[in-house]
């Protein structure tokens, strides 16, 4: 019963493979240095790539990106087909249209329970002015809400 924003975390493996997943476990940790965190289930298919990677981008999704959140939430071989992105400052794919993007160095990882907590040091960030956030609550996405 905790309302959260919705993010997509993306990275590129050393072999150049694109990796991406939807996550709602995102939080700010520190302003100095700028740190953020998110967590991933240890049984997730993307865990080996994320744990080995050096950089990733966390995208805070806008209300008009619900379909993108659903695309990256489940197993889907062609999840990157037709998705617009550019290479970020350290090579992580940066998706078009996010409300905010944090490009991070994969600073540390902490296994806890059945998840691993990733702490990223923010190397670059940007935002889309005026974008309303995509929210998740009670197992549903919310795209229209009074703020």
What is the pLDDT at residue 146? 52
Q: How far apart are CA 107 and CA 123, in angstroms?
A: 11
Q: How far apart are CA 40 and CA 135, in angstroms?
A: 19
What is the pLDDT at residue 145? 59
Say if residues 67 and 80 touch (Cβ distance below 8 Å).
no
The series of mean pLDDT values per 10 residues for the chain, 147 residues long, is 92 95 94 97 94 96 94 85 95 96 97 97 96 89 69
Say if residues 38 and 94 touch (Cβ distance below 8 Å).
no
pTM (2 decimals)?
0.94
Q: Which residues contact 67 (CB under 8 A, 6 or more apart)?
A: none
Q: How far apart are CA 23 and CA 79, in angstroms?
A: 15
Structure tokens at 30: 């520190």
Q: Would you call the peptide bond into 33 cis, given omega within 30 degrees of 0 as the criterion?
A: yes
Chain position carrying tokens 């659903």: 70
Q: How far apart are CA 109 and CA 41, in angstroms?
A: 12
Say if residues 37 and 118 touch (Cβ distance below 8 Å).
yes
Contacts 24+ apart (CB under 8 A), 74-82: 75/45, 79/20, 80/18, 80/20
In this structure, is the dihedral angle defined by the CA atoms of residues 8, 44, 29 and 4, taken in order, positive or negative? positive
């Amino acid at each position: 019963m905790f309302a959260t924003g919705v993010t997509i975390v993306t990275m590129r493996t050393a072999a150049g493979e694109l990796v991406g997943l939807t996550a709602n476990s995102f939080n700010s940790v520190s302003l100095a240095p700028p740190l953020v965190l998110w967590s991933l289930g240890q049984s997730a298919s993307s865990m080996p790539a994320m744990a080995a990677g050096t950089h990733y981008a966390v995208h805070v999704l806008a209300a008009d990106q619900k379909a993108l959140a659903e695309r990256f939430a489940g197993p889907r071989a062609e999840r990157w087909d037709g998705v617009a992105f550019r290479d970020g400052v350290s090579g992580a794919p940066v998706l078009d249209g996010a409300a905010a993007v944090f490009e991070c160095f994969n600073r540390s990882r902490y296994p806890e329970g059945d998840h691993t907590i990733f702490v990223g040091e923010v190397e670059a960030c940007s935002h889309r002015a005026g974008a309303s956030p995509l929210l998740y609550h009670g197992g549903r996405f919310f795209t229209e809400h009074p703020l």
